[in-house]
Amino acid sequence: MNAQSSQQQPNDGRHDDDAALTDFLASLMDYTPTIPDELVEHYLAKSGFQCPDVRLTRLVAVATQKFIADVATDALQYCKARQSAVVKDKRDKQQKDKRLILTMEDLSKALQEYGVNVKHQDYFADSPSAGLDPVARDE
């Protein structure tokens, strides 16, 4: 890679970093990301990203996977937090609630931190003032 070779200047720190990076990229090849390569290549080509190197596509795939995993982890946290809040119910309900379900609510809360606003409509109303208090509607 051009940038790497140009940076192989007499700087040991950088040299180590280079080595680390190359090692890392080499290790990437062993790791098969969950997101398939073809999908990543398709969308990168769509956005104008041009690179014949497979390692870079793997890098992008891994980065995306990490991102999604982070979001999912946060949503899981929210889900577990909500479940623990309902502990006061009977045993049966607890056992049923052990199932961790990815809901829209948790997802939107998790994504809020990442700057993504996902608001899911619980129901669809035919007018903006539907469901409001009569006082608010008058206003």
Within 81-120, the residues that bind other proteins by CB under 8 A are 99-104, 106-107, 111, 113-116, 118, 120
The rounded distance, in Å, linking the Cα atoms of 95 and 38 is 41
The rounded distance, in Å, linking the Cα atoms of 43 and 64 is 12
CB of 133 to other proteins, least distance (A): 28
Nearest alpha carbon to residue 42 among 67, 26, 61, 69: 61
Instruction: Give the residue with the Cβ less far from other proteins, 72 or 94.
Output: 72
Within 16-55, the residues that bind other proteins by CB under 8 A are 17-18, 20-21, 24-25, 27-28, 31-44, 46-53, 55
The rounded distance, in Å, linking the Cα atoms of 33 and 23 is 17
Asked whether 90 and 97 are in contact (CB, 8 A), the reply is no
**CA angle at 133 for the pair 107 and 78, rounded to the nearest 5°:** 15
Instruction: Give the residue with the Cβ less far from other proteins, 20 or 132.
Output: 20
Q: Which residues bind other proteins (CB under 8 A)?
A: 1-4, 7, 14, 17-18, 20-21, 24-25, 27-28, 31-44, 46-53, 55-56, 59-60, 62-73, 75-76, 79, 99-104, 106-107, 111, 113-116, 118, 120
